[in-house]
Amino acid sequence: MNLFGVDIGGSGIKGAPVDLDRGELTQERHKVLTPHPATPDAVADGVVEVVRHFDWSGPVGITFPGVVTSGVTRTAANVDKGWVDQDAARLLSERLGGAPVTVLNDADAAGVAEMTFGAGRGRKGTVMMLTLGTGIGSAVFIDGRLVPNTELGHLELHGHEAEKHASTRAKEDEDLSWPHWARRVQKYLAHLEMLFSPELFIIGGGVSRKADKFLPQIEGVRAEIVPAELQNNAGIVGAAMAAASR
């Protein structure tokens, strides 16, 4: 079965049809830049552009970079504050001509995809998926069951919000070398390990394509650390999976 997934991020909105039997995109994904300011109407325009690029009609799963409960977006750390308490599912459904829309947290979507088709497949115990990008998203699983909307990128770390210190955007904005940035990520993982004692960290986001540049430099963390197998497509796959479970 094929369904459509859209991943809304702080820098880009990307989507594609997904084969839910294999957890793979059936066509090359289409991406547009996230508008600034990223207001609900402006982001909805981007979502519509992505979906219409494929002439898709039918259910759509959509991720959002913040807390989502029952289709309502509750926080908006890296997008416009107009998203707070927005009925995103209804807004996006209306803009997509009444198509059924399911909205969920972006890291939760990526995590569900990795636990089903990727690096977390078959893993028990506590598993943490972290998406490093404009911010840091988190998804926590206990024996394969998701604890939704954890948003652990907002933990305080050495006087800073963790995602302001260890995200990919922080690396780019401060022009950090891979070793320097790896030390920051290491401190963040050590902090999470102290709090949650996970058995596995899965590192996702676009930077997962370059895992060899920083993961081998992370030391002193007991948990296994692996890159996401679905890389930056995990959110799209997880979004489509959510649409199927609607």
Domains of the chain: 2-108+234-244 (3.30.420.40), 122-229 (3.30.420.40)
Q: Is the pLDDT of residue 158 over 90?
A: no
- Torsion region of 77: left, alpha or beta (phi above 0 gives left; psi -120 to 50 gives alpha): alpha
Cα–Cα dist 98/47, whole Å: 14
Give pLDDT, residue 217. 96
pLDDT of residue 57: 94
Closest CA to 188 of 199, 177, 201: 201
pLDDT for position 48: 98
Give dist(CA 219, CA 221) in Å, integer.
Answer: 6
Number of Cα atoms under 13 Å in the Cβ half of residue 52: 10
Span 94-153, pLDDT tens digits: 999 999 999 999 999 999 999 999 999 999 999 999 999 999 999 999 999 999 999 999
pLDDT digits (tens, 9 = 90+) for 78-93: 899 999 999 999 999 9
Q: Percent of the chain beyond pLDDT 90?
A: 96
Q: DSSP string of 50-99? A: HHHHTT--S-EEEEESS-EETTEE---SSS-GGGTTEEHHHHHHHHTTT-
Q: What is the mean pLDDT of residues 229-233?
A: 95
